Amino acid sequence: IIVDGASKDNTLKIVAQFPHIAKVISEPDKGIYDAMNKGFRSATGDIVGILNSDDFYPDNNIIAKVVKAFEKNDTDSVFGDISFVSPNNLYKTIRYYSSAKFNPEKFAYGYMPAHPSFFAKRKFYEKYGLFKTDYKIAADYEILIRLLYVNKLSYKYLPLSMVTMRAGGASNESLYSRYILNKEIVRACRENGIKTNLFKVSLKYFKKVFEYV
């Protein structure tokens, strides 16, 4: 399913070249989380995941590995790692984000599993709700808290890079964006019964240094 915000470039012409795409939605939206919700509402599969604009799977077997993990482990959700690459050199990894040490208690410290790698059974989104569109940057953080911490979905970690991302993005554009992100993370925690504060959440930046390669 492709969700496009009524872009004026060649997106729709490119999409038309791929007959296996089930549905194309091209219309104005109220932001990235509104667009993601449209995709979820259109999904009919048992398992759903999101691939953002400019991101891609590093090989053709990622989806097969995800499906195998669901079948083998009888789990509610699956996630792994992601690689950030230079926008000008897709073979140059500049940061590696590992979800290996995640557990739900770490939400209070600004740490979550890599959302672009996150797949979950569609029935849980129908039961527990979609993205909250009044968040500017951290609705993905909030929904993962709701699924993994509040409603205790089971999960399986896959020790591999599941998604390649070009460096940048809405949450990393500027110091102001990071400030908004951290404020929304604190809000997401408090709305879901996790005690935290801006100082505690900001500690994650010391650990980020070790993600750069």
- Model confidence over 106-145: pLDDT tens digits? 999 999 999 999 999 999 999 999 999 999 999 999 999 9
β-strand pairing of 155-166 with 119-121:
unpaired
Amino acid at site 62:
I
Q: What are phi and psi of 160, to 5 degrees?
A: -155, 160
Are residues 165 and 85 in contact, defined by beta-carbon separation less than 8 angstroms? Answer: yes
Q: What is the pLDDT of residues 56-83, one digit of tens each?
A: 999 999 999 999 999 999 999 999 999 9
Burial class (CB in 10 A: 0-12, 13-18, 19+), 119: buried
Are residues 145 and 194 in contact, defined by beta-carbon separation less than 8 angstroms? Answer: yes
Q: How far apart are CA 88 and CA 66, in angstroms?
A: 29
Q: What pLDDT was estimated at residue 53?
A: 87
How many percent of the chain have pLDDT more than 70? 93
pTM of the model: 0.92
CA distances from 14 to 11, 88, 113, 157 (A): 5, 21, 31, 33
Q: What pLDDT was estimated at residue 170?
A: 56
Query: Using alpha carbons only, how large is the chain's radius of gyration in Å?
Result: 17
